Amino acid sequence: MASARKSRGESLLLRYLVLGTWALVCLLPILWFLSIGFRPRTEVITPQPIFWPTFSLDAWHLLMSDWPIAMYLRNSVIAVAGSVVIDLILAIPAAYALARYDFKGREDIGFYILSTRMMAPAIVAVPIFFLFKTLGLLDSVWALMLIYAAINLSLVTWIIRSYMLDIPKELEDAARTDGASDLRILWEIIIPACLPGIITAAVIAAIFAINEFLFTLLIASTANAYTMSVALANFTGGSDGIIYNAIALVSFIAFVPILILVILIQKHLSRGLTMGAVKG
């Protein structure tokens, strides 16, 4: 008994050691970034190793005074949040219809919707550019909102649909005999029952939207519509050369919202991704 407990304790220790090492390997680049971001510019680029780094807010002050970061963040938030709202408004009824109503070509429509996601985005880049140009929507966050919504709509629909398929049919039958209309059933029974799926889909869509680069670069040409993802790529630090500590800090700022989103849904994330993709 005692020896069994001891070996159990040892294996637990070993497990934490292995996991801890792996976590350190994964987290090291992030810590490195942070340390670069909060050190003086010159210290970051000296070739000599430095054992006792100096703390400095130089890069932070530079960013705050020189770079419209608030604008970029605002653009990101508006475009991403707006696109997720549009996605949910469109995807929830679509997913419900695909999950429950029996109509001709249901499976084909379902697959067609998903297949729009399989295409390489670059293929439609040029037509989209001209489309938005004609519509007078270039260089606007509203255009980005529409694009993000369009890109993620199929995936969001598919994920929510797969959660809806898991809801017992009896629940809807019960609501119907209780006197509820279809919209009531959707609103009061289905949506609450697949709320975890809806949240998961929303967060996944938000992460994809935050990271979207190609179309953002195409549509946004000034700080008017730049989001963090494009601004970050264009950022070199300023007029006098590449400023590494500022770049590191900007990267970290761009990384934080995604980290928060992932932590929020990590429990559902793998289920959402695999189910949405695999379950037909």
Partner 1 sequence: MASIHLQNIVKRYGGFVGVQNMSLEIADEEFLVLLGPSGCGKTTTMRMIAGLEVPTDGKIMIGGEVMNDVDARDRDVAMVFQGYALYPNMSIYENIRFPLRMRGVPASEHDARIRQAAEMVELGAYLDRKPAALSGGQRQRAALARAVVRQPQVFLMDEPLSNLDAKLRQSMRVQIKHMQRQLKVTTVYVTHDQIEAMTLADRIVIMNKGAIQQVGTPDEIYSDPANTFVAGFIGSPPMNLIEGTAQGGRFNAPGVSAPCPSNVQGKVTLGIRPEDCRIGGDNVQGLVYGVEPTGDTTYLTVLAGTKKIEVKAARDYRSDIDVSIGITFDPARLYFFGQDGERIRGVA
Point out which residues bind partner 1 (CB under 8 A): 168, 170-171, 173-181, 184, 188-189, 192-193, 195
Residue 180 or residue 217: which is nearer to partner 1 going by CB?
180
CA distance 220 to 218: 6
208 neighbors 3 (Cβ within 8 angstroms): no
CA distance 130 to 110: 29
CB of 165 to partner 1, least distance (A): 16
Residue 159 or residue 194: which is nearer to partner 1 going by CB?
194
CB of 182 to partner 1, least distance (A): 9
Q: Which of 193, 153, 154, 157 is nearest to 172 (CA)?
A: 193
CB of 239 to partner 1, least distance (A): 57
Characterize 37-64 residue by residue with b for buried, 16 or more Cβ atoms within 10 angstroms of its Cβ, and e for exposed: bbbebeebeeeeeeeeeeebebbeebbe
CB of 149 to partner 1, least distance (A): 27
Residue 29 or residue 168: which is nearer to partner 1 going by CB?
168
Q: How far is CA 116 from CA 23, 97, 111, in A?
A: 36, 18, 9
CB of 174 to partner 1, least distance (A): 4
CB of 230 to partner 1, least distance (A): 41
Q: Which of 215, 214, 206 is nearest to 262 (CA)?
A: 206
Q: Is 114 left (phi over 0), alpha (psi -120 to 50) or beta?
A: alpha
CB of 190 to partner 1, least distance (A): 10
Residue 66 or residue 178: which is nearer to partner 1 going by CB?
178
